[in-house]
Chains A and B, each alone.
Chain A
Amino acid sequence: MIRLVPDHSARIQRSEKVPFTFDGVALMGCADENLAAALMQAGVLHLRNAPGDGAPRGAFCMMGLCQECVVFVDGQSVESCRLTVSPGLAVKSRR
Chain B
Amino acid sequence: MSENHDIAIIGGGIMGCAAALRLASGGMAPIVLDRGDLGQGASGVNAGTLSLQIKRVRLMPYALKGHEEWARMGDAVGFRRTGGYTLAFTEREAELLTERQTLKAEAGAPIEFVTNNQVLSAEPNLTRRVLAASYCHEDGYANSSLTGQYYRGRLREASVPYRERCAVTSITRDTQGFVLHTGGPPIKARRILLAAGAWLKPVAAMLGVDLPVNARINTVSVTERMPPLFATVIGHATGLLTMKQKGNGTILIGGGWQGRGTPQEGRGEVIADSLIPNLSLAQFALPKLGQARVLRSWTGFEANVPDFYPLAGELPGVPDAFVLGCVRGGYTIGPYIGRLMGDFILGHSPEMPLFNPGRDFEKDAT
Contacts and interface: CB of A to CB of B under 8 A. Distances in A.
A76 interface: yes
Interface in A60-78: 75-77
A43 interface: no
Contact of A75 (B224, B225, B291): B291
A76 B225 CA distance: 12
Contact of B248 (A51, A75, A76): A51
Nearest to B293: A77
Query: What 4 A-B pairs are tightest by C-beta distance, nearest first?
Result: A75-B291, A76-B291, A77-B293, A51-B225
Contacts of B291: 75-77
Nearest to B225: A51
B241 to A, nearest CB: 23
Contact size range, A: under 10
Interface in B237-253: 248-249
B64 to A, nearest CB: 35
8 contacts: A51-B225, A51-B248, A51-B249, A75-B291, A76-B291, A77-B224, A77-B291, A77-B293
Contacts of A76: 291
A36 to B, nearest CB: 18
Interface of A: 51, 75-77
A54 B249 CA distance: 14
A21 B225 CA distance: 24
B129 to A, nearest CB: 21
Contacts of A75: 291
B223 to A, nearest CB: 10
A4 to B, nearest CB: 46
A51 B246 CA distance: 14
Given A51-B248, A75-B291, 5 more contacts: A51-B225, A51-B249, A76-B291, A77-B224, A77-B291
Interface string B202-243: 000000000000000000000011000000000000000000
A61 B225 CA distance: 20
A24 to B, nearest CB: 18
Contacts of A51: 225, 248-249
A4 B184 CA distance: 63
Contacts of B248: 51
Nearest to B288: A75
B291 to A, nearest CB: 5
A75 B290 CA distance: 10
Nearest to B295: A67
Contacts of B249: 51
Nearest to A67: B224
Contacts of A77: 224, 291, 293
Interface string B73-85: 0000000000000
Interface string B336-347: 000000000000
A77 B224 CA distance: 9
A76 to B, nearest CB: 5
Interface string B282-321: 0000000001010000000000000000000000000000
Contacts of B224: 77
A25 to B, nearest CB: 21
B135 to A, nearest CB: 30
B221 to A, nearest CB: 16
A76 B292 CA distance: 7
Nearest to B249: A51
A77 B227 CA distance: 12
